[in-house]
Amino acid sequence: MKYILVTGGVISGIGKGIIASSVGLILKSCGLHVTAIKIDPYINIDAGTFSPYEHGEVFVLDDGGEVDLDLGNYERFLDIRLTRDNNLTTGKIYQSVINKERRGDYLGKTVQVVPHITDAIQEWVVKQAKISVDDDGVEPQVCVIELGGTVGDIESMPFIEAFRQFQFKVKRDNFCNIHVSLVPQPSATGEQKTKPTQNSVRELRGLGLSPDLIMCRCATPLENAVKEKISMFCHVEPTQVICVADVSSIYRVPLLLEEQGVVGYICQRLDLPIEMRARKMLTKWKEMSDRSDRLLEHVSIALVGKYTKFSDSYASVIKALEHSALAINHKLEIKFIDSADLEPNTLQEEPVKYHEAWQKLCSADGVLVPGGFGVRGTEGKIQAISWARKKKKPFLGVCLGMQLAVCEFARNLNVQLSNLRMELKYVFLFFFITDANSTEFHPESKHPVVIDMPEHNPGQMGGTMRLGKRRTIFKSNTSILRKLYGDAEYVDERHRHRFEVNPELKHHFEERGFHFVGQDVEGERMEVIELDDHAYFVGVQYHPEFTSRPIKPSPPYFGLLLAAAGKLQSYLQKGCRLSPRDTYSDRSDSSSPDSEIAELKF
């Protein structure tokens, strides 16, 4: 087993995750089996209770693990399936060690950071690195480990010490350290500064780790003089100083690393059995990146959400939209709309903001309402859904977005809910309570539109949702989404929710053209909705964005983009196939010839 540790210096958020993913990708393109581990030094057990404003989205894995969004990058770049144990936190390590101490595993010894915590870290890495993440079940040959935070953080010290020891245990030929550092370029002088990188490398060396590759994040390509200066002061060869300048797309980063000989160096450094030949996977990425830069046609999607001021809150959603837009050869424009700005209260308090938000919504080609929690802004999401339904605009609702679509339909079409002793307005308000007390808000309401799931534990917040990969069975042969999935009878997608549509009300909606075309295996939970007489009005209880890939876009998002570009009906009529011109050209054209058909694989 070969281990590649990726550390970062100067500032956080420097791009370690993308660089780690890119290194893994170029190694996988060489025929190696690659896995990845993300280490987060925070004391939380997992990312499940994080605020999206602070840490971005919570990425959900097949096994229900709620993890850092960087694991989403690993899965998208490497096309692998990770587990919750691929995300190691300080909380998990301390919990494991304390549990061992309580069981008496340490035989009365004084439990300390060194050696007990550091040993536990090393044991976790060695064990997890051997677990297959590919469909073929083959044990990985290379493990890429990203250490979150920056060198010098007090939270990271046990992990730095653990890897200082680890490099000697596994021997030099099996361990490599890549250090990612910032090379700032102040606008006042326009000169690239190396001092932050020098200090960062010096501190890393002082802690016992020496970088084999220094990857310099910079706004513009690294000048030769700057590269030589870093080489001299950081005690590495110039070829070991890699420039990672800002690029038009993150999908160009693997190509950037490959061009600078990273594969050759890692091959020599770790004695890897790599043949230096043209690699099919990287060729596909180059074609994809080139097309992305040359697209001429545009498509716009209004993303109506609660956390729109911080794009990382919807990282996977944005990537899924990008994958689908690229598949139909359109340049994507995302119009971020804070759902609270669409509400009548905003019209009274900040009319300019209100009208600007509605202008964005009305000018979009399609509408997306993603998942979320909490009452704030939900009225605005209802307004956006209502507008999309009435104006026949393509719409996709994910998780909360689907549940709100159900409420909007009941509320605005005055669905007669038999045997219910409440008005629709109350039904809507009840749904807003998405926290642990929601079932206690009005206990006499026996049949709300959306209900708290029976297995939800209201006394605990973390890890109490319906999480992970679940099977959804399509109940209709004519479902648009089923066709987009390749006429599959069922799909396995990832979930993250506490609430569900009340199954007792199913027939009240379906007799009015609002169909629940997908349900769980038991037929009790409503998973997919579709509306008659609409170009594309789809809602899914699951989160399809978590399984979207750059060259395998998620079908629900792909359908939204096709409908927004006016291509959905043509695509369905062709048997869910795209012509070569649609799939590989530099621009999309609805009048493209159909003489030759190429199927888009999901």
> Residue 417 above 50 pLDDT?
no
pLDDT at 448: 72
Q: What residue ranges do the domains of the chain occupy?
A: 2-290, 295-573
Report the 3 state secondary structure along 25-56: HHHHCCCCCEEEEEEECCCCCCCCCCCHHHHC
Read off the pLDDT of each residue in 272-281 and give the average, rounded to a whole number. Answer: 71
HSE-up of residue 158 (Cα within 13 Å, Cβ side): 23
Q: Which residue has the tokens 């996988």?
A: 28
- 318-332, 386-400, 487-501, 587-601: segment of lowest average pLDDT: 587-601
CATH of domain 2-290: 3.40.50.300
pLDDT at 494: 95
Residues sharing a CB contact under 8 Å with residue 376, sequence separation 6 or more, in sequence order: 306, 340
| Widest distance between CA atoms in the chain | 80
Closest CA to 3 of 205, 255, 266, 207: 266
For the ranges 32-41, 165-174, 302-311, 449-458, which has the lowest average pLDDT? 449-458
N-term to C-term CA, the chain: 32
Reply yes or no on whether the pLDDT at 427 is more than 50: no
433 pLDDT exceeds 90? no
pLDDT at position 464 is 65
Tracing tokens 């693997």 back to the chain, one arrives at: 254
Least confident of 101-110, 225-234, 587-596: 587-596
pLDDT at 414: 55
Higher pLDDT, 278 or 160: 160
User: Would you state the pLDDT for residue 295?
Assistant: 86
193 vs 185: CA distance, rounded Å: 6
User: Residue 592: is its pLDDT beyond 50?
Assistant: no
Q: Do domains 2-290 and 295-573 have the same CATH topology?
A: yes
Give the C-alpha separation, 343 to 338, whole Å: 10
Average pLDDT, the chain: 86
Identify the DSSP state of 571: H
Catalytically active residues, by annotation: 399, 543, 545
Most confident of 167-176, 285-294, 522-531: 167-176
Report yes or no: 206 and 212 within 8 Å, Cβ to Cβ.
Answer: no
Lowest mean pLDDT among 66-70, 264-268, 432-436, 523-527: 432-436
pLDDT level of residue 372 (50, 70, 90 thresholds): confident
- Whether the CB-CB separation of 151 and 199 falls below 8 Å is answered with no
- CB count, 10 Å around CB of 278? 8
Over residues 474-478, the mean pLDDT reads 90
377: left (phi over 0), alpha (psi -120 to 50) or beta: left
Does pLDDT of 420 surpass 50? no
pLDDT in tens, 61-82: 999 999 999 999 999 999 999 9
- Given a contact cutoff of 8 angstroms between Cβ atoms, the answer to whether 393 and 366 are in contact is yes
| Range name among 126-130, 193-197, 372-376 with the lowest pLDDT average | 372-376
- 92 versus 56: which is more confidently predicted? 92
Weakest mean pLDDT among 458-462, 500-504, 593-597: 593-597
Q: Which band of pLDDT confidence, cut at 50, 70 and 90, is reported for residue 246? A: very high
SS3 179: strand
Report in angstroms the alpha-carbon separations of 308 from 14, 470, 558.
Answer: 21, 28, 22
Taking residues 544-552, report their average pLDDT.
Answer: 93
> How would you write 499-546 as a 3-class SS string?
EEECHHHHHHHHCCCEEEEEEECCCCCEEEEEECCCCCEEEECCCHHH
Question: In this predicted structure, what is the pLDDT of residue 289?
Answer: 86
452-456, 465-469, 484-488, 506-510: segment of lowest average pLDDT: 452-456
- The residue among 554, 125, 33, 67 whose CA lies nearest residue 318 is 554
Q: What span, in angstroms and rounded, lies between the C-alpha atoms of 546 and 58?
A: 10
| Interval 353-367: pLDDT, tens | 999 999 999 999 999
Q: 443 burial class (0-12, 13-18, 19+ CB within 10 angstroms)?
A: exposed
**pLDDT surpassing 60 at residue 170:** yes
The torsion angles phi and psi of 48, rounded to 5 degrees, stand at -60, -30
Specify the pLDDT at position 378: 86
Q: What is the pTM of this model?
A: 0.87
Amino acid 276: pLDDT: 61
Would you place residue 274 in the very low, low, confident or very high pLDDT band (cuts 50, 70, 90)? confident
Q: Note the pLDDT of residue 110.
A: 94
Is residue 449 over pLDDT 90?
no
| 314 compared with 289, residue with greater pLDDT | 314
pLDDT of residue 601: 41
Q: Which pLDDT band, with edges at 50, 70 and 90, does 455 fall under?
A: low
Q: Average pLDDT for residues 403-415, to the nearest whole number? A: 78
Which class is domain 295-573? alpha beta
What's the average model confidence in pLDDT over 247-264? 91
- Residues 109 and 104: their CA atoms lie apart, in Å, by 9
pLDDT at residue 463 is higher than 80: no
562, 330 Cβ separation under 8 angstroms: no
144 CA to centre of own chain: 18
Structural contact between residues 413 and 372, judged by C-beta atoms closer than 8 angstroms = no
C-alpha dist (Å) from residue 324 to 125, 401, 465, 550, 601: 35, 19, 29, 8, 12
Average pLDDT, integer, range 410-422: 52
- CB proximity list for 286: less than 8 A, separation 6 or greater: 255
485-493: long-range contacts at Cβ-Cβ below 8 A with a sequence spacing of 24 or more?
Answer: 485/555, 485/602, 486/576, 486/602, 487/576, 491/518, 493/469, 493/540, 493/542, 493/543, 493/544, 493/546, 493/547
